[in-house]
Structure 1
Amino acid sequence: MTAGVDAPDRRGRTGLHLHGRDLTGNPDVRVRDVEVLACDWYVLRKTTFDFRHRDGHWSRESRETYDRGDGATILLYDPERGTVLLTRQFRLPAYVNGHPDGLLLETAAGLLDGDAPEAAIRREAEEETGRTVGAVQHVFDVFMSPGSVTERLHFYAAPYSAVPGGDPSPASAGVAAEGEDITVVELAFAEALAMTRTGAIADAKTILLLQWAALDGPFSPGSAPSAPSAPSASEAGRS
């Protein structure tokens, strides 16, 4: 008996080796075998397939794919004050791959966990920033690392408002039971965009949303004005 195949893994799943075997959308790809390499929480598979090249010959290929489910992310922005609301949290993969401290500035995000993308991002935004999200705008859907990770990320944006007479956001947020320790950071949009150029913001989903906001979104030419009194980076770090 193999966990995740013919016996439940710790999330109660079986049949994980069947994923992808019935694909028929591309006649130049024939899936031959799917092997589950790991399913401790997410799923690592090795898929063997035949691939027909443009010159007509077939080759036998194998690829490993990491399946963590699909996710969603959202840019929270205040067009009147010219600010965005981001999070800062520790990311071990970035830390072990050369990031100085592993603390990344990011847009709020999370896995769908069976919810529709919009419902999921409302949940994640509230958990990670303490904000209840109103009307949201769907921006685009992106495969973030299609060479090895199956995840499709759904991108959203929504306005938020300053808290009258109080801090713009809680000092920390996240679900403690899930090991989350998140600092909420409010930045001037222009400052956040500049940080994508210097590497101070190095998270792909955040860079995509900030660039969208500058080109086609709330901070694009002719859109909402930016306020001159937006907080500085030092002030943002204390929020």
Structure 2
Amino acid sequence: MKNPRVKIEQEEVLSNNWYTLRKYTFDYQRADGSWERQAREAYDRGNGAVILLYNQEKNTVVLTRQFRLPTYTNGNATGMMIEACAGLLDRDNPEECIKRETEEETGYQVSSVRKIFEAYMSPGSVTEILYFFVAEYSDDMKVSDGGGCATEQENIEVMEMPFSNALQMVASGEINDAKTIMLIQYAQINGLVRA
């Protein structure tokens, strides 16, 4: 059911290059009953999925490292980010997407994943809903080196590390990607691996 306090008056495509940037002009009814005209931009890149691979026996997690231009242009001196494996749905359902992305990026072929929640990551400007998953992995699930999809210009380093290192990297700011922090904290709170 649409919100009766919002009336979209105009939608304009500002960019349709990599993804779609739209400008919306709309009327919004304030709490006092009056209406005001507003304009906002929304970036539509589709929805995505993210996963934390963990191994209870080894007490490890698998993360990735890759260059992220937006962080580089906003003060990240190297542009490199340590993240949980993630990708866009590309018309797949979230579970199928994350299984595909896990194999492409990390080289692990997981058959069983568990959705833990979903969240808007930047609701003030981006339309994306991100579906969060966890899955236990083992060495025998490794089917390739991973590294991403060459046709998508991905150059991803796979990082298996002790969970305690991942927690320390969050505390030090070396891991500063929101989705990854959320998954690491989820693993800690729910005892998926030992701190």
Q: TM-score range by the shorter chain?
A: over 0.9
Q: Deviations over 1:43-85 (max 9, x none)?
A: 0000010001111111000100000000000000001110000
SS of 1:124's equivalent in the other structure is helix
- Structure number with the bigger relative contact order (C-alpha 8 A, sep ≥ 6) is 2
Aligned to 1:101: 78
| TM-score (normalised: structure 2) | 0.95
Contact persistence 1:169–1:184 (CA under 8 A): no
CA displacement at 1:169 relative to structure 2: 7.3
1:52-131 paired onto structure 2 within 5 Å? 52-131=29-108
| TM-score (normalised: structure 1) | 0.78
> Number of residues paired by the alignment?
195
Aligned to 2:112: 135
Q: Deviations over 1:200-229 (max 9, x none)?
A: 00111100000000012513xxxxx57xxx
Larger radius of gyration, structure 1 or 2?
1
Unaligned stretches of 5+ residues in structure 1: 1-23, 220-224, 227-239
Aligned with 2:155 (options 177, 181, 184) = 181
Output the amino acid matched with 1:62: A
1:136-215 paired onto structure 2 within 5 Å? 136-163=113-140, 170=145, 173-215=147-189
Output the amino acid matched with 2:120: F
In terms of fraction of residues, the more strand-rich structure is 2
SS of 2:139's equivalent in the other structure is coil
Indicate how the Cα distance of structure 1 residues 168 and 69 shifts in structure 2: closer, same or farther if over 3 A, else same.
closer
Alpha-carbon distance in structure 1 between the residues aligned to 2:79 and 2:46: 23
Unaligned stretches of 5+ residues in structure 2: none
SS of 1:173's equivalent in the other structure is coil
Q: Deviations over 1:63-114 (max 9, x none)?
A: 0000000000000000111000011100000111111201111110000000
Alpha-carbon distance in structure 1 between the residues aligned to 2:36 and 2:120: 25
CA displacement at 1:137 relative to structure 2: 0.8
Output the amino acid matched with 1:193: L
